[in-house]
Chains A and B, each alone.
Chain A
Amino acid sequence: MRALGWAVGAVALGLAVLFAGLEAAGFDAEVGLGALWMGAFGSWDAFSSSTLVRAVPLILIGLGISVAFRGGAINIGAEGQFYAGAIAATWVGLHLAGRSGPIAIGALLLAAAVAGLCWVAVPVWLKLRFGVIEVISTLLLNFVAVSLVSFMVQGPLQEQGRIYPQSDTIAEAAQLPLLPGSRLHAGLVLAVAGALVLWFLFAKTLWGFRLRAVGMGPRAAEVSGRIDSQRVSAVALLVSGAIAGLAGGVEVSGVSYALFQNLSPGYGFTGIAVALLGGLHPIGVVVAGVLFGALEAGAGAMQRDAGIPAVAVYVVEAVVIIVALLATVPRGGWTGLRAVVRKRIAPGKAAG
């Protein structure tokens, strides 16, 4: 209940800051927030076709990031892993005409997850082999991924007509089924199922325990539990990349049906807010994902109907992240994450 309390407080404060900021910038904040609410929850259509559709990638990425954070690894490259997944999914999806639905969708999603995993494998390798902190390497690879997508949609994956910077539509068999009468796709089921699986893994398995042990304090985990904390963190990063890649595949298979530039409006960064607001707990992440989906959907409506730039909601996200951080940080600091950061960034005298 306490956790819920501060989460609600964080969002409320974020919205209050948005309101004040919009007023200060000379916008009609009341109209803006009204449009935001209507765009997110105003009707079943808005809720299912906008809010929930945007919630799906956010939940998946948020889940991925919480795996990494729990294991004391800092993945700020979900955006790049998402794009890697989307590229692979598109490529596979274009070659699946005539296959049956389950096989086609399975192949597409598998390709996406593997691509995300490969994308994060580079930072993992750099970290284990050369000691490059993943904070910087995952970040830098985001920019590489964005350029790669741009290259793909104007090169190997460009549509047949060679006019628009986008790919052809993927095979119908590889498209996720839709809820009748809306744009909501089966990816939501996948996201919720993924959350339940992770919840089980976190709470009931040795892997989940090790993850938490390393996240709380790598040295203690090594000394008292004989846990190879480097390895646990590395696996956490790989899993988180795979899930972010999967999110890219789901987006292609359920929403866009093709590869575009700017497929993601910063889902990889919003996912950090989702993971933190959800308290790194899978069920919390689902709730937070829906909430941020609503925010993103509402932002679109706010821009359309009230002329307020959609990017303004990033301010809300930032406030939520910071409040969530401050609220969950016990006095003296969030030992887990901080201990790992300290160890990775400053390897101490050993490396001197």
Chain B
Amino acid sequence: MDTEMLVAGFLAAAVRVATPLLLAATGETVSERSGVINLGLEGIMLTGALAATLGATAWGPWSGVACAIAAGMLLAAVFALLVVGARADQIITGTAITLAAVGLTGTVYRQAYGSGGAGLTIPTLESVAIPGLSQIPVLGPALFDQPVPTYLALLGMPIVWWVLFRTRLGLALRATGEGAAMARAVGVRTNLIRSGATVVGGGFAGLAGATLVLAQVGSFAEGMTAGRGYVAIAIVVLGRWHPGGIALGALLFGVATALQFLLQTLGLDAPYQLFLMLPYLLTLFALAGAVGRVRAPADLGR
């Protein structure tokens, strides 16, 4: 087999897997920088995936994307209401939001498509090759011949960095995450900032769910996010709450996942379940290596 094609295919697969993770993790960075850790991310992604399916079926793929973002923001707003408004515990509330989303999506999905939704086909987002860039050997097809959400993820990263670190709004947001009381004292409307950041994070997670359905799998399945929301949260820690670090973290997870395709192509005969575990274990290892040397926003979880 042609090595260059193999490597290119491997990289393309890694980027494909990394895209929804990068999107969700970028959004989660915004909300964690403001002091809100959102374990409902998993459920929000799942809800986004279903909203994308319903929207795309009714009005086409881009409406699906819009529906997913809207649904993600809505669910995140509920979460924000509980943890910012009512000051309920963030971790447990997030778990509850995910639980609710599992129930909600399962019920709505079966109501909409019956129990045999397997044959379901929906309009998807095709790959768009960027002229010129996609011709670069090996890297070109991996980075520049992907569905639009991948480009959105790549664009979102520097934009979020710029907003967080180069604008007054970003300064207020980070101040809220580092010390809400102090930020309030200098006139920052911390509750508004936190709610806003959480809702923005929800929008990103919804888009991540849409990516999963519209740019990758092509259909919805119950519980299809399979822990990606939680992995995204781990990636935020891995990436040290920095958009650039997060991109690397997401890519690491993508590579670990793509490794199973590569090894199977190479004919390595190992149980596939071991490969399914690999990304989660690798994330754990990476966390162990990273955490001691990083500092979270001081007011995270408060």
Binding site for B on A (CB under 8 A): 21-22, 25-27, 74, 76, 122, 126, 129-133, 135-137, 139-144, 147-148, 150-151, 154-155, 266, 269, 272-273, 276, 308-309, 311-319, 321-322, 325-326, 329, 332-334, 337-338, 341-342, 345-349, 351-352
Contacts and interface: CB of A to CB of B under 8 A. Distances in A.
Chain B contact residues: over half helix, strand or loop, or mixed? Answer: helix
B274 A151 contact: yes
Interface string B259-302: 00000000000010110110011011001110111111111111
Given A21-B107, A132-B291, A155-B271, A341 B301 contact: yes
Contact of B292 (A22, A319, A351): A351
Contacts of A131: 291-292
Nearest to B92: A325
Given A25-B107, A132-B291, A148-B277, A321 B99 contact: yes
B188 to A, nearest CB: 19
Interface string B43-65: 00000000000000000000000
B120 interface: no
A321 B300 contact: no
Interface in B52-99: 82, 86-93, 95-97, 99
Nearest to B107: A312
A154 B276 CA distance: 14
14 contacts: A21-B107, A126-B284, A129-B288, A131-B292, A136-B237, A141-B280, A150-B276, A151-B271, A266-B102, A321-B95, A326-B82, A333-B87, A349-B295, A351-B293
A329 B93 CA distance: 12
Nearest to B88: A325
Nearest to A136: B234
Nearest to B178: A346
Given A309-B110, A318-B97, A346-B300, 10 more contacts: A137-B284, A140-B234, A311-B102, A312-B103, A315-B104, A318-B96, A321-B93, A322-B96, A347-B296, A351-B295
Interface in B201-253: 222, 226-227, 230-231, 233-234, 237
B111 interface: yes
Nearest to A125: B288
Contacts of B293: 351
Contacts of A345: 37, 296, 300-301
A315 B100 contact: yes
B276 A147 contact: yes
A322 B103 contact: no
B280 A143 contact: yes
A22 B271 CA distance: 42
B82 A322 contact: yes
Contacts of B280: 140-141, 143-144
A142 B87 CA distance: 28
Contacts of B288: 126, 129-130, 132
Contacts of B299: 342, 346
Q: Which of B92, B104, B284 has the most CB of A within 10 A?
A: B92
